[in-house]
Amino acid sequence: MTQEATHRAIEAVWRIESAKVIAHVARLVRDVGLAEELAQDALVSALEHWPEAGLPNNPGAWLMAAAKNRALDRLRQDALHARKHEELGHDLDALQAHVVPDFVDALAEASEDDIGDDLLRLVFTACHPLLSTDARVALTLRLIGGLTTDEIARAYLVPEKTIAQRIVRAKRTLTEARVPFEVPRAADLPARLGSVLEVIYLIFNEGYSATAGDDWMRPALCAEALRMGRIVAELMPDESEVLGLVALMEIQASRTSARVDAEGRPVLLMDQDRSRWDPLLIRRGLIALARAESLGGARGPYVLQAALAACHARARKAEATDWAQIVALYDALAQVAPSPVIELNRAVAVGMAFGPAAGLEIVDALGDEPSLANYHWLPSVRGDLLAKLGRLDEARAEFERAADMTRNARERDLLMARAHAVKSSP
Amino acid sequence: MRFMIIVRATPESEAGVMPEEPLLAAMAGYHEALAKAGVLLDGAGLQPSATGWRVRYRAGRASVIDGPFTEVKELIAGYTLIQVRSREEAMEWARRFPAPMGEQADAEIEVRQLYEMSDFAPSEAIDRFRAMEAQR
């Protein structure tokens, strides 16, 4: 193996193992910033030893042992400087009891549950509500995703320094607040889990909104989010909202190849070439959704959104869409997670299921909604319904209004084209 | 990026010899690890070619030939589909694949990258260019 090939192989191992190593060390040293440092030291050691000695049989266990040794050394050092010798002494004795002669083999047999618990603790810590959303996203991509600072920066179209500082400050915030390295208690779990899912879905949407000219790291965010969602679903198989989010992302990802046409223009869901939808991802999404629903209980927002996506996914042609079912799902979603945007989507579904007049009623009720004041989909939907009702001049005006509102050149072209299409109707 | 890990058939797999407990456990453990890493997309074992068949296309005609097929080298016994961030990551996971016929048995796996839909996207544009050219 060439030097470069070995390095890339080691990087691949790191990508696979780093989150688990950081998580396990974080439990020992009780600080994620320090844990990442120590894990990085283990990586440096691997980069020094493996090119000559070859990759070990169990590279994960090797890295884990190397990082753990450094953690124990650090704790011993701190103990020498600390005043509370006895307290730390107890901790060290307990820790050293884990270090048996054939420690690499012992670690290789370390309970999968232990590693899973640590990883879950890391996920919750990286998504801690003390941190800003930007900070949570960067820290999650770094600690769970194993992305480099440069990769995160390219994905978010910001300078590397910005991300580096964001991560440093995030770690400092957690350290100074002495955030415990733990899975939240049952009472706090729903809100904390909500934060985790929000972070993952934000990352997914950032990738989903990427356009053809962007750095390839941007669309890669979708795959990262999917991967992290699947990991959390494995760690929390009884949480229906986690499965719901995974189902939603699998199905949305299934449409990646149909969402833009050959010229790079966005294609609306109803106009997409469904033969370009990925059946494997749809199947995975439907399975995840079924598992979520089999857990029983009230359906949360992610499960409902996944059910909506599944509705579309099951229709072989746009004409076969079960709009009544979609209306029912939006009704449920409006109860659980009401928002003007949800209401607008509900209006579209009602228009399809019960006729444009019914849909227009709902849209008109949203006319004064302040949060939709600059939302170009509102006039766009209104225009569509008016056109179907034969109110052509009003429809054209709405499409032109929508075109003015959008900052996206391709979307503007699409809307102006619709405006012109109305004008030329008899 | 997506890769398919293909387990090549052996005389034993073709004979329908069921894997022993340790091998089943190793395979299950490996696929669990893939799932826990968020990397597993799909996977299945294939029944011996005795229960399968081929459709052969010759000079515009198709004919059906029932298995079993004797050239074991040409056959596959199973597949695993993974989604990873790099070719090297696929290589590392392949390296960890348990010896598919048992630790001491001869066997081989083959890893192939999947074409993605985006690999085919340019053809629409190419068609349009061809149409434009033809009109000149």
pLDDT the model gives residue A264: 73
- B97–chain A Cβ distance below 8 A for any pair: no
What chain B holds in terms of domains, given with CATH numbers, is 2-135 (3.30.70.1060)
pLDDT band at A80 (very low <50, low <70, confident <90, very high): confident
Helix (H, G, I), strand (E, B) or coil at B63: strand
Q: What is the pLDDT of residues A195-206, one digit of tens each?
A: 999 999 999 999
β-sheet bridge partners, residue B62: B57
Residue A425 predicted with pLDDT over 80: no
- What's the pLDDT at A349? 96
Q: What tokens does A348 get? A: 């579209």
Q: Calculate the alpha carbon distances from A118 to A106, A121, A249, B69 in Å.
A: 17, 5, 25, 49
Lowest mean pLDDT among A77-91, A384-398, B106-120: A77-91
pLDDT at A21: 97
- What letter does residue A335 receive in the DSSP assignment? H
Cβ atoms B1, B108 nearer than 8 A: no
> A11: which chain B residues are within 8 Å (Cβ-Cβ)?
86, 88
Residues of chain B with pLDDT under 70: 118-136
Query: How far apart, in whole angstroms, are the C-alpha atoms of residue A22 and residue A36?
Result: 5
In A304-363, the residues whose Cβ lies within 8 Å of chain B are none
**What is the pLDDT, as a whole number, of residue B136?**
41
A35-55 pLDDT per residue, tens:
999 999 999 999 999 999 888
| Candidates A57, A217, A230, partner chain B, best to mutate (most B CBs within 10 A) | A230
CB A208 within 8 A of CB A232: no
Chain B's closest residue to A246, CA to CA, is B38
Task: Report CA-CA distances (Å) from A249 to A151, A261, A305, A306.
Answer: 22, 21, 10, 8
Residue with tokens 């994905």: A155
**For position A102, what pLDDT does the model report?**
43
Angle between helices A3-29 and A59-81 (to 10 degrees): 50
Residues near A273 by beta carbon (within 8 Å), at least 6 away in sequence: A258, A267
Residue A107, pLDDT > 60, answer no
**pLDDT attached to residue A426:** 56
**pLDDT of amino acid A210:** 80
Q: What is the mean pLDDT of residues A143-155?
A: 95
pTM: 0.89
> Rg for chain A (alpha carbons), in Å?
26
Nearest to residue A157, comparing CAs of A96, A205, A218? A218
Residue A130 to residue A136: CA distance in whole angstroms:
9
Gap between the Cα atoms of A12 and A136, Å rounded: 24
Chain A residues within 8 A of B83 when measuring between CB atoms:
223, 226-227
Q: What is the pLDDT of residue A90?
A: 62
* pLDDT tens digits, A349-389: 999 999 999 999 999 999 888 988 889 999 999 999 999 99
Cα-based distances in Å from A228 to A12, A16, A22, A146, A257: 17, 12, 16, 11, 22
Question: pLDDT digit string (tens) for A292-346?
Answer: 999 999 999 999 999 999 999 999 999 999 999 999 999 999 999 999 999 999 9
Best residue of B30, B31, B36 to probe chain A, by most A CBs closer than 10 Å? B36
Interface residue B73 vs chain A (CB under 8 A): no
Percent helix, strand and coil across chain A, each to the nearest 5 = 75, 0, 25
Both tokens assigned to A203: 């990352």
pLDDT for the residue numbered B127: 46
